[in-house]
Amino acid sequence: MFGDLGLSWMNGKRHGAVNNIFYTETYVDDLAPTTVLATLGMKVPAHDVSFGWTGTIVGAQGRTPYKQDKGNLYAREPSAGYAVHGIFLDWTPKQGLMQDTELHVALDNIFDKKYLPYLSDGISAMPGRNFKISVSRRF
């Protein structure tokens, strides 16, 4: 078995605001929300296969100057949190005709969760379910 866990957290404040330097302390604009990335998987050496689950959990972003003084003129609105799950399968044979070849198959956002990434400003396409397959060969 194998696993991986990552955490990203940002915080930042400034004295005053962009449009009023004498205002009280405000959040810095463009702070990414707290994010947890996780992977849990299993290797089956007898078949040269590994497979598993990936998860991206993004917290709600309320640390924005949007509601502080006149921040709604320049700051991004608070956003809701979301969680996206995926599965993957890797096959890398060590011998035979397919030796030195790697097959990677993945399904991202398996529950077809509709979400809007915080820093996208509403201009990116809505992420959806995504099936990926790749084959590579070393020579």
The CA-CA-CA angle for residues 25, 28, 30, to 5°, reads 160
pLDDT tens sequence for the chain (139 residues): 999 999 999 888 877 766 667 777 777 777 889 999 999 999 999 999 999 999 999 998 877 777 776 666 667 778 889 999 999 999 999 888 888 899 999 999 999 988 888 777 767 666 789 999 999 988 8
Q: Are 75 and 58 in contact (CB under 8 A)?
A: no
pLDDT at residue 71, rounded to an integer: 61
pLDDT at residue 31, rounded to an integer: 82
Query: What is the Cα–Cα distance from 55 to 120, expressed in whole angstroms?
Result: 20
SS3 50: strand
Q: Phi, psi (5° rounding) for residue 5?
A: -140, 130
Residues near 130 by beta carbon (within 8 Å), at least 6 away in sequence: 107, 108, 109
pLDDT at residue 119, rounded to an integer: 75
pLDDT at residue 118, rounded to an integer: 78
Residue type, 101: T
Query: What is the Cα–Cα distance from 113 to 85, expressed in whole angstroms?
Result: 9
pLDDT at residue 138, rounded to an integer: 83
Query: What is the Cα–Cα distance from 38 to 56, expressed in whole angstroms?
Result: 7
HSE-CB of 80 using CA atoms within 13 angstroms: 6
